[in-house]
Structure 1
Amino acid sequence: MDLVTAALLTKTGHKIADKAVDAVVDLIKSKIKGAVLERWSAHRAERFLKAFADEVMREGDVRTQSASLNDMLRKISDGEEESAAIFDAYRRVALCASRDIGPMIIGIRAAVLLKKGGEASASDEQLFMAAESLNDRDFRDFVRWAEDPKNRKGGSRPPLPEHPLIAAATVAARVDSAATRGVFSKADVAINLYSDVGPFALKLAQVGLLTQLSVSRGEPRHLSGVDHCLIGGAGVLSLLALAKRAIDAKDSAPSH
């Protein structure tokens, strides 16, 4: 076999191999697109639209199909600002880490904003960002944490140190580093929000709903001691209320 023939055979072999690889890639893409991407995109969209529709009816005090409901839907679908607001909300749903609770929160809040006829405020944007960032497990962990009496303002024992930011906060909780738990010494050891509180705390801190604060205890025997606190404003309670509504709706829905 001369060199030219060998080169042609090698080139042909590479083309056949490439075609085989392309066929496998196309098969994977078609299966993943239908069974995974489209399935879960549709699932999130369904959660969003159901929560949105329920809240639209609730805000308008509408229980059955009626002329008032038709007028409301026509305004939403035909209005420039209204349709743009729904599209923006749906765009957020597509990026949600959560399968169920996040899309439902976005649907509820979007319906409330449409009823008010205003654009999303900075506080609304924070809530939307939180709804995008947390997954379903995060939302449940957040609700448990926020409803724990010791994490409510005034519920910490011993009391939290005096500080203007703590005094102004709606939610304030002491956080101990895992490195000092179960030992007598409470040295100034940095905390890790992800492991010491939960992934939800780190994510909510990233969108500005929670803030980490370190304050000197000022005790005579522990002047170098530091209390690590996690504080938040009214937005935390707003997210808590939305998350509880979404979780209750999801848990009470009939399973498919």
Structure 2
Amino acid sequence: MDGIGGLVAHEILSSFIESFKEKINEKLTSHRANSYFQMLIQEYQREREQKHDSANLNEALNNIVNNPKYSELFFETYRKVLFAASKDIGPRIIGLLVADITSNDRVTSEDDELIFILASNCSDSDMAAGYRYFCECSTSSDGVKYKLIREVMANALRNGRRIDTSQINLTREVGVWAFQFKNAGFLWEEDWPGETEIPQKTRKMLVFAGMCDRFFQLYQRALAASSAD
């Protein structure tokens, strides 16, 4: 628009952007950031108490923030927190893990990186659904968690035509959370022989990676801290 009309439109747009930043963007990002920092500081303090470290907390926190070794860790995790699908639990999980890494002065592992990704990509409801499903799983003799999705018959017939019943749609048959966990490397599907003697029978199993134990331990602690606030 030109002239007065264009000026009015620009003022409306500017007003809307400022309102959005104040009411929506800043509110949501600040809540995520607060959850992250609160959990990080609480866990860092807990780790120090266990080690009987009597140094001033503010000085200790300033030391790790100013340590070039952790600059990228803080930058990347804070960015994940601000854009996390989770409003509360995910940022808390990330805070817990950052505190563990910094307080123990260790290098970020591959499992740590994957936990950061999952905590950022999953909503609170997805993590809750995944935890419920995980708790219902069976455990093999070597400690692997698994659960039957369904048993299928290979080369089944439908209306006289052979069809493939072996394909699993995780989102539809298990839940959106399973798709997120699979993408982050926390679970996968396996074909196991059927329990019957019919050779065409196959059991479609969902198998969880060992790091799921650690992720859900962090999830439980983050959930408890959120409930206590």
Is the structural similarity TM-score above 0.5? yes
Deviation sequence 1:26-61 (CA, Å, 0-9, x none): 121111111000111111000000000011011111
Q: TM-score, normalised by structure 1?
A: 0.76
| Pairwise CA distance, 1:88 | 2.3
Q: Paired residues, what number? A: 215
Amino acid at match of 2:200: S
| Pairwise CA distance, 1:119 | 2.3
Other-structure match for 2:148: 174
2:97 paired with 1:120: no
Say whether the 8 Å CA contact 1:169–1:231 is kept in structure 2: no
Other-structure match for 2:216: 240
CA distance, structure 1, for counterparts of residue 60 and residue 81 of structure 2:
23
Other-structure match for 2:139: 153
2:225 paired with 1:249: yes
Amino acid at match of 2:138: R
Q: TM-score, normalised by structure 2?
A: 0.85
- Superposed, which structure 2 residues align to 1:64-103 within 5 Å? 67-103=55-91
CA distance, structure 2, for counterparts of residue 244 and residue 44 of structure 1:
18
Other-structure match for 2:204: 228
| Pairwise CA distance, 1:224 | 1.7
The DSSP-based 3-state class of the residue aligned with 1:60 is helix
Say whether the 8 Å CA contact 2:185–2:209 is kept in structure 1: no
2:168 paired with 1:191: yes
Deviation sequence 1:157-189 (CA, Å, 0-9, x none): xxxxxxxxxx76621111138xxxxxxxxx835
Deviation sequence 1:128-149 (CA, Å, 0-9, x none): 000011101111111111112x
Amino acid at match of 2:174: V
- Superposed, which structure 2 residues align to 1:192-207 within 5 Å? 192-207=169-184
Q: More displaced, 66-75 or 122-131? A: 66-75
Greater C-alpha Rg: 1
2:196 paired with 1:219: yes
Structure 1 residue runs of 5 or longer lacking an equivalent are 1-12, 155-166, 178-186
Structure number with higher strand proportion: 2
CA distance, structure 1, for counterparts of residue 115 and residue 12 of structure 2:
42
Say whether the 8 Å CA contact 1:210–1:232 is kept in structure 2: yes
Say whether the 8 Å CA contact 2:192–2:202 is kept in structure 1: yes
Q: Percent same amino acid among aligned pairs?
A: 24
The DSSP-based 3-state class of the residue aligned with 2:102 is helix
- Superposed, which structure 2 residues align to 1:20-59 within 5 Å? 20-59=8-47
CA distance, structure 1, for counterparts of residue 138 and residue 181 of structure 2:
17
Say whether the 8 Å CA contact 1:216–1:226 is kept in structure 2: yes
Amino acid at match of 2:204: H
Sort the Cα spacing of 1:168 and 1:18 in 2 relative to 1 into closer, same or farther, 3 A.
Answer: farther
2:12 paired with 1:19: no
CA distance, structure 2, for counterparts of residue 112 and residue 95 of structure 1:
22
CA distance, structure 1, for counterparts of residue 103 and residue 55 of structure 2:
17
Say whether the 8 Å CA contact 1:218–1:224 is kept in structure 2: no
Q: More displaced, 95-104 or 189-198? A: 189-198
Amino acid at match of 1:249: A
Amino acid at match of 2:148: R
Amino acid at match of 1:175: I
2:112 paired with 1:138: no
Say whether the 8 Å CA contact 2:194–2:202 is kept in structure 1: yes
Relative contact order, CA 8 A, sep 6+: which one is greater? 2
CA distance, structure 1, for counterparts of residue 14 and residue 2 of structure 2:
18
Other-structure match for 1:209: 186
| Pairwise CA distance, 1:19 | 2.8
